Structure 1
């Protein structure tokens, strides 16, 4: 953490997170990596807000032979007809319904809107575009029963949200109501931050991004021209829905968030960028122990509430 301007509470959050990975080397078996991630998520999980109902279920994606596991969260006063479809982070290789359970619960209660979290297929067992196919299928299913669907996600999940917007535009399908993105990975050169000033940022060193890329694509890292894999391979985002983009300033992916927000603005799309000063990748979990993270999470909830209840940023 040396060389980065972290306040004491964020430093404590980083240390606590790193403790869950103690003893895991760079070549640790995937089951051990997933188990450590699950323990970390459970260690930061909060009790559900009073009155919130969480329910596991499936979406059939307009195909009775194919089901997608989801978990829905809602309070009795949730605005009708609108829903947040949430894609969890985890580098496409870890995470699921439990990993982001309390995050989605707090988001649903705070924004007063139903949230549906998707358990998309993980890599390397399922390569690109399987996770994106699941995201599209879940979106199609929810759009059948809701007036508007807001896409949201963190890290790899935010990547899926933007990629899905581009796929929907390519296919001529209805656009989401809005996109809410937390520290997304979007640039076509996954190694562009290596050697840069944030390459050794805590919790997500730039060198680790290549491993996620290999797991997700099955290929060695190299710049891609596929925008549904790396959305910033494009520079025209005309017609995409309004966005709220949340960066973490001390994160090798920080520039991705800034570049995407600028590209949206240049394409005439309404966007607000939250730079996340003094924050690290994965900060959502620390909202109960850090005032700075709590403020960022409050801004996230406000953005979702604004989209859900008024349609405006």
Structure 2
């Protein structure tokens, strides 16, 4: 399908799975750092969750992850701000990252409380990239990150990239397609953590990190590799690789007990890190 057709199909799928926002959650759309965002509030928490949606840097937006962000807000009590970063191919790398960073920097400047970074798939990549980039630039604000089946730039010659190369929902062919669209066909940047956080040469000073992967997913090994890199650098990190789950399983959280348990992992991680707690 064309990019426009892919976006239409993705949006239709999201609407099929969409559930109403929980009672008590209020929503306001406004820009942070000239990037469109949607803010969810359910109380008076001083903690903010910055959420970057998935979609291979090509599809998705504020509507596709509206119910996920609303439920995350309701269940943690934290404010959640969803970032509508520009998509490829209209905006090739590093534009997606630049938007993610611009929104983060503006939120950090305008809000005084703690920040938890969170994102799924491509959004998990952006959340981690922002956490890496924040070191030495925005100190003491990010108290944790929760990465949901993130693509972090791991070694594609081994692990889940091989054993689950043709997994349901996401395949190696899909990953190759998204990479080409994201880069505009240019060479992949080398040693640039803005593109692939696992390509960083320094994993020290990163916030406590919870990674929740789907076991039947070519990206699963990235969670393990990232956890090990942070632990080796003296940080706090834990990796959950949920058996039987596939990429994008968050969509099924209201109809599958196992997908609901997957989302529980995410909510528990966000809630704990927002309290500056490490229960792992």
State the TM-score, normalized to the length of structure 2: 0.93
For the 8 Å contact 1:189–1:223, the answer to whether it is kept is no
Residue aligning to 1:14 = none
Counterpart secondary structure, 1:249 = strand
Residue aligning to 2:95 = 130
- The separation in 2 between residues aligned to 1:74 and 1:298, in whole angstroms, is 20
Aligned-residue CA RMSD (Å): 1.9
- The separation in 1 between residues aligned to 2:204 and 2:228, in whole angstroms, is 12
- CA 1:238 to 1:254, structure 2 compared with 1: closer, same or farther past 3 Å? same
2:48 to 66, 79, 83: 83
Residue aligning to 1:46 = 19
The structure that is strand-richer by fraction is: 2
Give the length in aligned residue pairs. 277
Matches within 5 A, 1:81-230: 81-144=46-109, 145-169=111-135, 171-174=136-139, 176-187=142-153, 196-219=162-185, 224-230=190-196
Unpaired stretches in structure 1, ≥5 consecutive residues? 1-27, 62-66
Give, in angstroms, the shift of residue 41 of structure 1.
0.6
- 2:231 is equivalent to residue 265 of structure 1: yes
Give, in angstroms, the shift of residue 308 of structure 1.
1.5
Counterpart secondary structure, 1:159 = helix
Counterpart secondary structure, 1:116 = strand
- The separation in 1 between residues aligned to 2:220 and 2:37, in whole angstroms, is 29
Unpaired stretches in structure 2, ≥5 consecutive residues? none
- 2:33 is equivalent to residue 33 of structure 1: no
State the TM-score, normalized to the length of structure 1: 0.84
Worse overlay, 184-193 or 84-93: 184-193
For the 8 Å contact 1:191–1:206, the answer to whether it is kept is no
Give, in angstroms, the shift of residue 34 of structure 1.
0.2
Radius of gyration: which is bigger?
1
Tell me the alpha carbon deviations over residues 18-63 of structure 1, each in whole angstroms, 9 at most, x when there is no partner. Answer: xxxxxxxxxx11111000000001110111111111221122x2xx
